[in-house]
Amino acid sequence: MSERLSVGDAAPEFTLPDADGKEVSLSDLRGRNVIVYFYPAAMTPGCTKQACDFRDSLDSLAAAGYAVLGISPDKPAKLQKFREHDGVTFPLLSDPDKEVLSAYGAFGEKTMYGKKVTGVIRSTFVVDGEGKIAVAQYNVKATGHVAKLRRDLGL
């Protein structure tokens, strides 16, 4: 199981391809607050609901100074279909080797339908402008999570 991150920790740096294969680095967004969320699989009901909630909140999050990045183990081609099918307007990044997922503690043992399995742990982080973890939330629910995050951020 990967080590979990806490508020104040340095956010693990990453560079991953987006849905178009273009590399996106966390360091490119230094100076801004960045919401980095990890989800199990594009085009599944819970992940679609969560992505659409972020999409629908994007204008107000951006107005408050937040960028959003979604990360899953999906390949760029699947992310491209997901983006186009659901009108996702923020970068979806591909981490098929699960290195970034693991660095953030978002991959490991979890309970699903009463069974212990190894997989993506739905998690959300806010990285501040200096690259430090400002919010670390593990095992979040797909439905209602964005609204709760907005409340936690005072938006």
Q: Look at residue 64 and tell me whether its pLDDT is greater than 60.
A: yes
Token pair, residue 93, equals 């990044």
Distance CA 74, CA 155 (A): 30
Token pair, residue 149, equals 């995050």
Q: What is the pLDDT of residue 40?
A: 94
Q: How confident is the model at residue 122 (pLDDT cuts 50, 70, 90)?
A: very high
Query: Across the strands, what pairs with 13?
Result: none
Q: Is 52 one of the annotated active-site residues of the chain?
A: no
Q: Look at residue 150 and tell me whether its pLDDT is greater than 60.
A: yes
Q: What is the pLDDT of residue 83?
A: 96
What's the pTM?
A: 0.94
Q: What is the pLDDT of residue 45?
A: 87
pLDDT tens figures, 9-58? 999 999 999 999 999 999 999 999 999 999 999 988 888 899 999 999 99
Distance CA 39, CA 133 (A): 18
Residues 152, 135 contacting (CB under 8 angstroms)? yes
* Of 115 and 87, more confident: 87
Average pLDDT, the chain: 94
What percent of the chain shows pLDDT beyond 70? 99
Residues 114, 91 contacting (CB under 8 angstroms)? no
Q: How confident is the model at residue 2 (pLDDT cuts 50, 70, 90)?
A: low
Number of helices and strands in the chain (H, E)? 4, 9
Token pair, residue 70, equals 């979604």
Distance CA 149, CA 2 (A): 23
Residues 70, 91 contacting (CB under 8 angstroms)? yes
Q: Look at residue 72 and tell me whether its pLDDT is greater than 60.
A: yes
Distance CA 36, CA 124 (A): 6
Catalytic hit among 36, 47, 68, 140: 47
Q: How confident is the model at residue 113 (pLDDT cuts 50, 70, 90)?
A: confident
